[in-house]
């Protein structure tokens, strides 16, 4: 199983690359937005919190990987528009959690499904993962659509699973299996 993160993942319109510490202002543009972070258990972030987050994300590319985090940039102009990660909690057992955020200015343009397809392709073909899963709040229909558009299957509802903004929230779980993954669908 590979242990090195590639420097980049390229799709038709995007370049996913490791975060750099100087990305914090672009990350802050979306991580400080209360609409973007409304379904997350963190945020909106202060400038100091955004700087710390990016320092943490940038450090992932420099050590054995438990998490593979990428800045989502456009090929057309290099704008950093969001971030996505595969997080492998605990021992490397063939599973990873999919996480993503996108600047609200770029919602509805098809960028996130494109980035997620690239990340799934990387997870299954480069990391040899067996299962990649994600979750979203039932009210976050846009996130559910992203996972559905990328071929992930809805597996169920976990009731009162996450503590978000001072209340317990339900989550919908989606997953894709390597045996179902079709890289040609990219």
Q: How far is CA 73 from CA 24, 70, 106, 132, 163, in A?
A: 14, 9, 11, 22, 31
Q: Is the pLDDT of residue 143 over 90?
A: yes
Work out the pLDDT band at 5, boundaries 50, 70, 90: very low
> What pTM was estimated for this model as a whole?
0.91
Q: Is the pLDDT of residue 149 over 60?
A: yes
pLDDT top residue among 145 and 56: 145
Position 92 scores a pLDDT of 67
Q: Residue 142 — φ and ψ, nearest 5°? A: -65, -40
pLDDT tens-digit map of 84-130: 999 986 656 899 999 999 999 999 999 999 999 999 999 999 989 99
Enter the tokens of residue 108.
Answer: 């509805």
CA distance 123 to 37: 25
DSSP label at 45?
Answer: P
pLDDT top residue among 77 and 184: 77
pLDDT tens-digit map of 32-75: 999 999 999 899 999 999 999 999 888 866 555 778 999 999 99
Enter the tokens of residue 168.
Answer: 């317990």
Position 64 scores a pLDDT of 53
Question: Average pLDDT of the chain?
Answer: 91
Position 184 scores a pLDDT of 47
């Amino acid at each position: 199983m590979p242990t090195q993160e590639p420097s980049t993942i390229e799709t038709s319109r995007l370049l996913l690359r490791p975060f750099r510490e100087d990305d914090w202002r672009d990350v802050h543009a979306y991580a400080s937005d209360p609409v973007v972070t409304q379904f997350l258990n963190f945020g909106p972030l202060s400038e100091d919190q955004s700087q710390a987050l990016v320092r943490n994300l940038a450090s992932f590319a420099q050590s054995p990987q438990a998490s593979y985090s990428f800045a989502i940039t456009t090929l057309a102009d290099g704008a950093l528009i969001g971030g996505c990660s595969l997080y492998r909690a605990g021992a490397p057992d063939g599973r990873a959690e999919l996480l993503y955020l996108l600047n609200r200015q770029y919602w509805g343009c098809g960028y996130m499904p494109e980035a997620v397809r690239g990340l799934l392709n990387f997870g299954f073909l480069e990391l040899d993962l067996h299962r990649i899963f994600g979750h979203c709040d039932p009210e976050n229909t846009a996130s559910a659509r992203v996972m559905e558009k990328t071929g992930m299957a809805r597996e169920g509802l976990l009731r009162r699973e996450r503590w978000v903004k001072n209340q317990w929230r339900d989550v919908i779980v989606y997953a894709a299996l390597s045996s179902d993954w079709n890289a040609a669908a990219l």
